[in-house]
Structure 1
Amino acid sequence: MGSPSDHRDAPDRRDLIKRAAALGLVSVPAMGFLSACATGGGGGGGQGQAPVGEKTGKNPLGVKEGVPLEAFIFKGGLGDEYAKDAEADFKAVYKAEVKHTGTQQIGPKLTPRFAGGNPPDIIDNSGADHLDMNKLSTQGQLQDLTALLDAPSIDDPAKKVRDTIHPSTVEKGRHGDAFDVLYYAFTVYGTWYSKKLMDDRGWAYPKTFDEMVALCGEIKKAGIAPWTYAGKYPYYVHFNLFAQIAKIGGMEKWIAIDNLEPNAWTSNDAVRQTVEHYEELAAKGCFLEGSKGLTHIQSQTAWNKGKAVFLPNGSWVENEAAPTTPADFGMSVGALFDGGAGDAMPHGTLRAEPSEPYIVAAKGKNPVGGMEMLRIMLSRKHAQNFATKVKSLTCVLGATEGMTLSPGLSSASQAFEAAGDNIVSLQLQEWYPALTDDKIGGLTGQLLAGELKAADWIKRAQAEADKVAKDSSVTKFTRTA
């Protein structure tokens, strides 16, 4: 999202290395890639009574000049300054006032407004308290953004917007036939660490579960905790745990979990292997004492202070943790661990996918303006501004080419390059956040605190998934790849 942000059907991964270069994950010749995230939804056309202007080459969506725009932006790991910069351009071009709200309480503040038929026009729906986009989509509350995809891009009018963004962004943002969520950022998930600390201690990033357990023993001897995590939001651990299951068992078996198929958790040996690994880490005291009570910010601060070596997170962490990160920290990210010789995916496999979901309210007062705001944000100018200000990539292809990247972003780009086409992309946390973040998240918190055995975690996770599968009030989604 900037934190559990991330999210959708698997992209076509042919030529991913070329795409990595195009994304700016890998520059030539040099390497040069939230507090939680959200979900995606279904399609209305709120333009019926909303003011529409004349469509021109420079105004392809038909924004009505002078009509105010209201933006609600999640102010978490990525801040909201980048959005304010794009809003300033919108205001200058369309001579319209922009009302901006930066908050971490997207859901609590906007649920009553959607219910009352008075939602803001454009929303960065991220964070722990995000809106349920699946429900909004099903209710026809989300603007179908296909017109945005088909509009000419700002940088090259000969290219449609859809041709300037990573293909997985389009796949992830669909609910059925509607494209109604624009995942603006592109996040690398993994195990984060300080390169300086590792180098100073002579420790190498582990390749396997067994190597991690062994290294944890060495780290503890040095008087440092091997791991910490956001115990108040244990679903942060799922960024790694879920992806690790997919790496060991293969995407086909993970897709069965995404699709809520019967016995998808209990019949997958990769689930057992992964959850037992976390059980072992807990049993051997590998987590910083008190982690269970820490927020994501507190866990990151403890990590930055050298109290723990490893932290599960997404690439927004570099910006979010910047206030407490030492200048020579050398923020770095490692790929998923090998479980054994029988792993379905090779060493170096990485979870990387679009994140930071933007939606436009179909029943807002200016949905056309909301889409135009996104078109502005998808320009090279604002994609580069985003990378500079928040140390994260956008979905815009090639935007960071030639830029000097920060340590964490550079490390992530190298990990992405090394992964090649071995990229894990998950949907469960996006489609069913109440299941993953609340229900299974609670189980994970108990597991890491040593209060729950792996076998019980698996059994209860399956039971919770089965409840969702049988709940007719929950809209279901499926994927095939």
Structure 2
Amino acid sequence: MGSSSARTNEGPGHEGTGDEGLRRRDLIRRSAALGLVAVPAMGLLSACATGGGGGNDKETKAPGGPKSEKNPLGVAKGAPLEAFIFKGGLGDQYAKDAEADYKATYGADVKHTGTQQVGPKLTPRFAGGNPPDVIDNSGADHLDMNKLSTQGQLQDLAALLDAPSMDDPAKKVRDTIHPSTVEKGTHGDTFDVLYYAFTIYGTWYSRKLLADKGWTYPRTLSEMVTLCGEIKKAGIAPWTYAGKFPYYVHFNLFAQIAKIGGMEKWIAIDNLEPNAWTSNDAVKEVVEHYEELAAKKYFLEGSQGLTHIQSQTAWNKGKAVFIPNGSWVENEAAPTTPADFGMAVGALFDGTGDKMPHGTLRAEPSEPYIVASKGRNPAGGMELLRIMLSRKHAQNFAKKVKSLTCVMDATEGMTLSPGLASASEVFKAAGDNLISLQLQEWYPALTDEKIGGLTGQLLAGELKAADWIRKTQAECDKVARDDSVTKFKRTA
């Protein structure tokens, strides 16, 4: 997963003051209607630079067909559509199902590509001026959306938001989706990324394993360390992680810092402010916690060489008790998950003098869909998204991938799978105490390559916490000084 300068109010997670804070509190209260949503976090390794584009030109291609009540976006009948969909933990069948409805409605051919290499395959096409119409820009090798937006390559999706919803023409699309979806997908003043889902991040475990061993999910960081000692004595590794992609650990590590230190101090980190890492006591507490886990060898031996799939498989086989991940893990790990596993997720741990209460959770929009402004059929690309935002396809998504979309109330009355039911429980328990972070979205090369490399060394016992903090601050300072990197800013 990125975003334009002066972007503010980036999702839930901070109680602002005055009207800002009231708006955020109202937004989170409305979250309860969602129940929960899940999907993979947007890919996190930096994609290759995008070429082409017209600088800051925001000019977009006009829709090509007549508009009507049933065709509010003006899709030309028979106009072919090309879709590039990330085929990772969620697969791509849900998108094919929506494409089938598009094809039936408009009598048009739909070319579908499911891939895990969105960036490498599409960077030259954007540079050449012939991108596909709609793209699920997720996975490790995703496109740099910040650059695409700055270059005017992304379609302004305001028309989609203001179009009537598929289920109730009296309601606009914007009124059927979780409000943080709009906040998250806005670059500057332009909404040009639709985050189709909502991910719950946290520490995942097997209810059955904990129950069989008589262990209780810890409330605090210190209780976690104590439990890790008991787990290790039982001959099981307390933790595993995707060592080849150590940014997975950041899903927990970064959020844990925000919980203990408060969102105001985390926002300073998102905004690349000087000394934001080094002057934050919560950073020291959390990073030293991970240093202690490494020093006591509480990570499964060999984890540093595992992919996300390999680490999840080891976890499913009972070789490790805990794993940091997002709510897409239930679907992604399904092939190796025992029927009685009882997949569950726990909220963030309490530390010392926390600014946010027990039960605080990282939960935010994810799975970014974009429409290419210079594609052949941008109107069709937006229409496919409108179809996907219908109750029919939101429920289909939940059934097929054990995750929910940003469509509020879509899964009401449905029976949820174990992992999704657990995620729903912690989501509802968190109430207003939700954390949304931007550093990994805005600066993926920084977090996933630079800081990720440091985290890998930390967990392997090769780097002390103090050195991790100092070097992380230095890497952030480099980006802050680099005029070639577009900067973003949030206030809440």
Q: Which TM-score bucket, shorter chain as reference?
A: over 0.9
Match for residue 400 of structure 1 among 379, 404, 411: 411
Q: Which runs of 5+ in 1 are unaligned?
A: 2-6, 27-32
How far apart are residue 393 of structure 1 and its match?
1.0
Match for residue 47 of structure 1 among 61, 64, 82: 61
How far apart are residue 14 of structure 1 and its match?
2.2
The CA distance in 2 between the partners of 1:133 and 1:321, in whole Å, is 28
The CA distance in 2 between the partners of 1:76 and 1:195, in whole Å, is 25
Report the 3-state secondary structure (helix = DSSP H, G, I; strand = E; otherwise coil) of the residue aligned with 2:69: coil
The CA distance in 1 between the partners of 2:36 and 2:148, in whole Å, is 33
How far apart are residue 15 of structure 1 and its match?
4.7
Confirm or deny that 1:238 pairs with 2:250.
Answer: yes
The answer as to whether partners of 2:29 and 2:432 remain within 8 angstroms in 1 is: no
The CA distance in 2 between the partners of 1:45 and 1:378, in whole Å, is 26
How far apart are residue 37 of structure 1 and its match?
1.3
The CA distance in 1 between the partners of 2:28 and 2:425, in whole Å, is 11
The answer as to whether partners of 1:228 and 1:288 remain within 8 angstroms in 2 is: yes
The CA distance in 1 between the partners of 2:102 and 2:72, in whole Å, is 14
| Structure 1 residues 127 and 185: alpha-carbon distance in aligned structure 2, compared to 1, 3 A threshold | same
Q: Please report the TM-score for the alignment, with normalisation by the length of structure 1.
A: 0.95
Identity %: 82
What letter is aligned with 1:226? P
Report the 3-state secondary structure (helix = DSSP H, G, I; strand = E; otherwise coil) of the residue aligned with 2:199: strand
| Structure 1 residues 302 and 35: alpha-carbon distance in aligned structure 2, compared to 1, 3 A threshold | farther
Confirm or deny that 1:113 pairs with 2:113.
Answer: no
Report the 3-state secondary structure (helix = DSSP H, G, I; strand = E; otherwise coil) of the residue aligned with 1:396: coil
| Structure 1 residues 34 and 162: alpha-carbon distance in aligned structure 2, compared to 1, 3 A threshold | closer
Confirm or deny that 1:462 pairs with 2:483.
Answer: no
Match of 2:184 in 1: 172
Match of 1:37 in 2: 42
Match for residue 452 of structure 2 among 441, 460, 466: 441
Task: Please give the per-residue CA displacement for 1:434-466, whole angstroms capped at 9, x wherever unaligned.
Answer: 000110000000000000000000001001101
| Structure 1 residues 124 and 386: alpha-carbon distance in aligned structure 2, compared to 1, 3 A threshold | same
The CA distance in 1 between the partners of 2:438 and 2:229, in whole Å, is 34
The CA distance in 2 between the partners of 1:8 and 1:80, in whole Å, is 31
The CA distance in 2 between the partners of 1:77 and 1:291, in whole Å, is 20
How far apart are residue 47 of structure 1 and its match?
1.9
Report the 3-state secondary structure (helix = DSSP H, G, I; strand = E; otherwise coil) of the residue aligned with 1:303: helix
Report the 3-state secondary structure (helix = DSSP H, G, I; strand = E; otherwise coil) of the residue aligned with 1:47: coil
Structure 1 segment 20-419 matched on structure 2, within 5 A: 20-25=31-36, 37-38=42-43, 44-48=58-62, 52-340=64-352, 342-419=353-430
The CA distance in 2 between the partners of 1:9 and 1:35, in whole Å, is 19
The answer as to whether partners of 1:34 and 1:76 remain within 8 angstroms in 2 is: no
Task: Please give the per-residue CA displacement for 1:319-342, whole angstroms capped at 9, x wherever unaligned.
Answer: 0000000000000000000112x1
How far apart are residue 467 of structure 1 and its match?
0.7
Task: Please give the per-residue CA displacement for 1:65-111, whole angstroms capped at 9, x wherever unaligned.
Answer: 10110000000011000000000000000100000000000000000
Number of aligned positions between the proteins: 467
| Structure 1 residues 43 and 359: alpha-carbon distance in aligned structure 2, compared to 1, 3 A threshold | farther
The CA distance in 2 between the partners of 1:396 and 1:8, in whole Å, is 21
Match of 1:29 in 2: none
The answer as to whether partners of 1:16 and 1:420 remain within 8 angstroms in 2 is: no
The CA distance in 1 between the partners of 2:57 and 2:239, in whole Å, is 42
The CA distance in 2 between the partners of 1:128 and 1:385, in whole Å, is 25
The CA distance in 2 between the partners of 1:386 and 1:35, in whole Å, is 13
What letter is aligned with 1:37? M
Task: Please give the per-residue CA displacement for 1:133-181, whole angstroms capped at 9, x wherever unaligned.
Answer: 0011111111110110011111111111000000100000011001000
Report the 3-state secondary structure (helix = DSSP H, G, I; strand = E; otherwise coil) of the residue aligned with 2:363: strand
| Structure 1 residues 254 and 426: alpha-carbon distance in aligned structure 2, compared to 1, 3 A threshold | same
How far apart are residue 38 of structure 1 and its match?
4.4
Task: Please give the per-residue CA displacement for 1:327-368, whole angstroms capped at 9, x wherever unaligned.
Answer: 00000000000112x110011000000000000001001011
How far apart are residue 24 of structure 1 and its match?
2.9
Report the 3-state secondary structure (helix = DSSP H, G, I; strand = E; otherwise coil) of the residue aligned with 1:393: coil
| Structure 1 residues 378 and 35: alpha-carbon distance in aligned structure 2, compared to 1, 3 A threshold | closer
The CA distance in 2 between the partners of 1:35 and 1:405, in whole Å, is 18
How far apart are residue 45 of structure 1 and its match?
4.2
Note the aligned Cα RMSD (angstroms): 1.8
How far apart are residue 25 of structure 1 and its match?
3.4
The CA distance in 1 between the partners of 2:486 and 2:242, in whole Å, is 29
Confirm or deny that 1:9 pairs with 2:10.
Answer: yes
What letter is aligned with 2:61? Q
Task: Please give the per-residue CA displacement for 1:376-428, whole angstroms capped at 9, x wherever unaligned.
Answer: 00000000000110011100010011110000000001101111101000000
Task: Please give the per-residue CA displacement for 1:246-298, whole angstroms capped at 9, x wherever unaligned.
Answer: 00000000000000111101111111110000000000001000000000000
How far apart are residue 237 of structure 1 and its match?
0.3
The CA distance in 1 between the partners of 2:356 and 2:349, in whole Å, is 10
What letter is aligned with 1:396? V
What letter is aligned with 2:426? A
Report the 3-state secondary structure (helix = DSSP H, G, I; strand = E; otherwise coil) of the residue aligned with 1:394: coil
The CA distance in 2 between the partners of 1:273 and 1:146, in whole Å, is 43
Confirm or deny that 1:421 pairs with 2:432.
Answer: yes
The CA distance in 2 between the partners of 1:358 and 1:17, in whole Å, is 23
The CA distance in 1 between the partners of 2:217 and 2:450, in whole Å, is 32
Report the 3-state secondary structure (helix = DSSP H, G, I; strand = E; otherwise coil) of the residue aligned with 2:203: strand
How far apart are residue 16 of structure 1 and its match?
6.1
How far apart are residue 20 of structure 1 and its match?
3.9
How far apart are residue 17 of structure 1 and its match?
6.8
The CA distance in 2 between the partners of 1:97 and 1:8, in whole Å, is 40
What letter is aligned with 1:292? Q
The CA distance in 2 between the partners of 1:384 and 1:87, in whole Å, is 15
| Structure 1 residues 156 and 420: alpha-carbon distance in aligned structure 2, compared to 1, 3 A threshold | same
